[in-house]
Amino acid sequence: MPSSPIPPRLILAPMEGLADDVLRDVLTRAGGYDWCVTEFVRVSTTLLPHSAFTRISPELLNSSCTRAGTPVRIQFLGSDPDLLAANAAHVAKLNPAGIDLNFGCPTPLINRNRGGASLLNEPELLQRIAMTVRAAIPRDIPLTAKMRLGISDTSRALDCARALEAGGIQELVVHARTKEDGYRPPARWQALASIREALRIPVIANGEVWTLADYHAIRQATGCADVMLGRGAVADPLLARRIRAGAADDALADWHTVSGMIGDFWSQVQAKVLPSQSPGRLKQWLGLMRRSYPQADKLFLALRELRTAKDVGPVLQQHLAAADG
């Protein structure tokens, strides 16, 4: 019998300052993801202790999986091939589900220090980084990378993608924007098609996927089977599940489910951070969810002026109880 085609994959994106282990846990338990990627570990001057990696990814202590069983890959950011390789070899002792290289972060501070997207004018360096890291880790640990289309234009995107492939990465995520584009819409989906056609390894499309319709549109425009979800997955915590089901929205039923996820998130965040910090984390998530759920907007406005966990708790419980009823 002929083998069945491999189903399209969904990956939860690394999102610095947003998608930490708590949010990864809550989102992956809603279902739909094949794997996810941590916030970046910055490698700049030294060999980091194992605690630096387990702090970013406590999942390393759980077979490198979230509680839902979703594999978690560790993302590195840096520009020194040998130092990146030494740290990769060190974290390999913890048996990560994979190692990912960050060539996509557009943050000015990171870019001023030769990290992230600032390296996209140096394809030779990208290849050297990938090759050196690949040689330093066991073959059974996947090595992937994420890049943008360039710094100010897309003229070297294909050079960078080919360099990373030549360096030994096994899959490449491409965020369909340049560094200077930041996160401004629209994403340049069409530019990914030529990269996908030129490479032998899988190319995963990323950028501006907020809805089921966007998911189908990015696959159509790029020809990529696999898609990485970023801010859209945070704005609609059920997006991956909705894509898997090919289902239309059911606002009332969805909010009932999402409200339970919010309660779980709040409980975990309080256990992780200081009482003065937890309200900000909750409002950050709700701020993105406002574009998907009017109930999230209402809750955000009710919590906006509250500053402590003690003040937030009763108001949040009142809203969640109403959703449960």
Residues tagged active-site: 105
Give the span between the Cα atoms of 291 and 305, in whole angstroms.
20
Whether the Cβ atoms of residue 27 and residue 12 lie closer than 8 Å to each other:
yes
**Under a CB-based contact definition with an 8 Å cutoff, are residues 112 and 81 in contact?**
no
Question: CB neighbours of 126 closer than 8 A, spacing ≥ 6?
Answer: 103, 119, 120, 145, 147, 160, 163, 164, 167
Give the DSSP H/E element, type plus range, for residue 259: helix 251-272
How far apart CA 101 and CA 293 sit, in angstroms, is: 34
Residue 164: Cβ-neighbour burial (10 angstroms; 0-12, 13-18, 19+)? buried
Beta bridge partner(s), residue 73: 37
Q: Which two tokens stand for residue 128?
A: 């050297």
Residue type present at position 309: A
Prior bond of 294 cis (ω within 30°)? no
Torsion angle of C-alpha atoms 115, 116, 121, 123, degrees rounded to 10: 100
At 295 the three-state DSSP class reads helix
